Amino acid sequence: MNLILIGAPGSGKGTQSRLLIDKYNFVQLSTGDVLRAAISAKSDVGMTAKCYMDQGKLVPDDVMIALVEDYMSKQSGKSVIFDGFPRTVAQAESLDSMLKKNAARIDHIVYFKINPQILVKRLTGRRTCSQCGEIYHVETKPSSKGHLCEKCGGSLTQRADDKEEVIGERLAQFEKNTGPTIEFYRGQKRLVEVDSMQEPEVVFKQIEKVLDLAN
Ligand code: AMP
């Protein structure tokens, strides 16, 4: 079963991906994580992506599509959660044709509906473990170990693009590019919505219901 989690930055896609992986047999393709790893590795893709990411802009479609094609060519046949891809209609169309070639498909597209006003607070307070990727929030989900991860002891860091100066542009890009992508899927009657303003456990239950995984 392949899933797309689509929603604004800070709407909880990463948190829900982790919950799904912990309980079910999914692998996650977070294109944002792949790009951040490419930047750390100082690869060509990383260096190209960094200029866009630092400004809150989208990385060009051709770069993103090549990156996902490469990932899919090495895929082990496990169920994939697409987190943060597609973000444009061109990416959505490419993903469909990519999967079709491999006789695969997207089974569910889950839209994380959220009031934009609460996103800035979510994003500025977000902290991520540099080792295991666990996600915290300084107010709503602080680590009991201060600046260290409760799970693995790794240090918690703030993403460079979770600063207020960049967040406005990321949300504008979401409206401009991902809004039409959501409408593209809605028009094809492939979209299901969850209320991602609820607590993570409640959102998770909604997702399990959508995926028909709830007991
Ligand atoms: P994320 O971790 O999903 O919030 O992504 C962080 C940043 O990576 C975004 O603001 C974009 O600059 C870039 N990015 C991630 N996924 C994509 C995508 N599918 N298309 C274009 N840019 C992307």
* Domains in the chain with CATH codes: 3-115+169-210 (3.40.50.300)
Average pLDDT over residues 122-132: 95
Residue 214's pLDDT is 67
* Centroid of ligand 1 to alpha carbon of 65 (angstroms): 12
Those residues with Cβ within 8 angstroms of residue 160's Cβ, 6 or more apart along the chain or in another chain: 53, 54, 166
State yes or no: is 13 an active-site residue: yes
Pairwise CA distance, residues 204 & 215, whole Å: 13
Rg (CA), the chain: 17
pLDDT at 77: 80
Round to the nearest angstrom and report the end-to-end CA distance of the chain: 17
Kindly state the average pLDDT of the residues 48-69. 97
Q: Report residues whose beta carbon is within 6 angstroms of any ligand 1 atom.
A: 9, 31-32, 35, 52-53, 56-59, 64, 84-87, 91, 161, 170
Pocket test for ligand 1, best of 13, 53, 89, 159 (most atoms within 8 A of CB): 53
- What's the gap in Å between 92 CA and the centre of ligand 1? 14
Ligand 1 centre and the CA of 84: distance in Å?
Answer: 6
Regarding pTM above 0.75, the answer is: yes
Which of 28, 35, 162 to probe ligand 1 with, by most ligand atoms within 8 A of CB? 35
Instruction: Indicate the average pLDDT of the chain.
Output: 94
pLDDT at 76 over 90: no
Percent of the chain with pLDDT over 70: 99
